[in-house]
Amino acid sequence: MKFKTAFLFGCLIFLVGCNAAPGTWGWYVIDPRTPAGYNNIRFLLNGFGATILLSVIAAAMSMIIGMLVALPGMSSNRWIRLPSRIYIEFVRAIPLLPMLFWVFYGLPVVLKSMGINISIDAFWGAIITLAISDSAFTAEIYRSGIQSIAKGQTEAAKTVGLNYTQTMRYVILPQAIRRILPPLANQFIYIVKMSAFASVIGMQELTRRANELVVTEYRPLEIYTLLILEYLVLVLIISFFVRWLERKMGSDESR
């Protein structure tokens, strides 16, 4: 419903723009019928690749880090639990943009002082930041998913001789995954949107390209409108996938 409204609103802006008096709106900058407009549109759409790649790699890393944080976070031993808790509280408290600056400008200095000479480019700087920042949320999604599986399942697994790893692998995770996947996919939408911040460290993704074109064309309204539509399309595709996933998982659960 929300998406439908946003879509209609977008169309409305476009139509108003087309019918308004000349001089106020300038859709020509992205009119594919003119060579200049065609080139501009190509330039903007070429950002999709970077945005998608950035989001997918960051999401994958976040899923792995999140699991490494979540598992000790569920230990019955509070000293094993503590580092995981600290990580989640700490990471969750840092806004994405400052963290991005710190990783991109600060981390290489830290590494260099430790004798590690690695330069972090915009691409990996953005990925590391997105992955770490998101992993705190991923970890919490795992934790709630796994803890929602009744305690009786763990106990039954113990009584048939399974150890911790076997219990997780054969009993808990196969059940938890149905509850984990939908919120995890939702979290992916969040990563896609947050990837726009990568533009400030020079990553050539959707937002960066829009910014660059605005500087040369002086048409912020038209270009940013298109930018929003670009994200809208991406997110709509993902949310259709999430809905499909939820339906599939839901029907599995009731079986």
Partner 1 sequence: MTKPGDAIEISGLNKWYGDYQALKGIDLNVAHGERIVVCGPSGSGKSTLIRCVNSLEEHDSGRIVVDGIEMIDNDSINAIRSEVGMVFQQFNLFPHLSILQNLTLGPMKARGMSKADADARAMEYLERVRIPDQAHKKPSELSGGQQQRVAIARSLCMEPKIMLFDEPTSALDPEMISEVLEVIVDLAEEGMTMIVVTHEMGFARRAADRMIFMDHGEVIETGTPIEFFEAPKTERCKQFLSQILQH
Where along the sequence are the contacts to partner 1 (CB under 8 A)? 150, 152-153, 155-163, 166, 170-171, 174-175, 255
For residue 72, the minimal CB distance to partner 1 (Å) is: 18
For residue 250, the minimal CB distance to partner 1 (Å) is: 15
Which CB atom, from 42 or from 158, has the smaller least distance to partner 1? 158
Which CB atom, from 52 or from 162, has the smaller least distance to partner 1? 162
Q: Which residue has the tokens 């031993």?
A: 77
Contact 200, 7 (CB under 8 A): no
For residue 178, the minimal CB distance to partner 1 (Å) is: 9
Closest to 123 in 3D by CA, of 93, 100, 148: 100
Calculate the alpha carbon distances from 218 to 25, 71, 98, 127, 214 in Å: 11, 51, 29, 30, 5
For residue 140, the minimal CB distance to partner 1 (Å) is: 23
Cα 64-65-69 angle, rounded to 5 deg: 120
- Per-residue buried b or exposed e for 141-157, using 16+ beta carbons within 10 Å of the residue's own CB: bbbebbeebeeeebeeb
Which CB atom, from 15 or from 156, has the smaller least distance to partner 1? 156
For residue 253, the minimal CB distance to partner 1 (Å) is: 9
Which CB atom, from 23 or from 161, has the smaller least distance to partner 1? 161
Which CB atom, from 81 or from 193, has the smaller least distance to partner 1? 81
Which CB atom, from 121 or from 155, has the smaller least distance to partner 1? 155
Q: Which residue has the tokens 């076997």?
A: 166
Which tokens in the block code for residue 171? 């009993």
Calpha distance 132→122 (Å, rounded): 15
For residue 158, the minimal CB distance to partner 1 (Å) is: 6
Contact 229, 10 (CB under 8 A): yes
Q: Is 113 exposed, middle or buried (0-12, 13-18, 19+ CB in 10 A)?
A: exposed
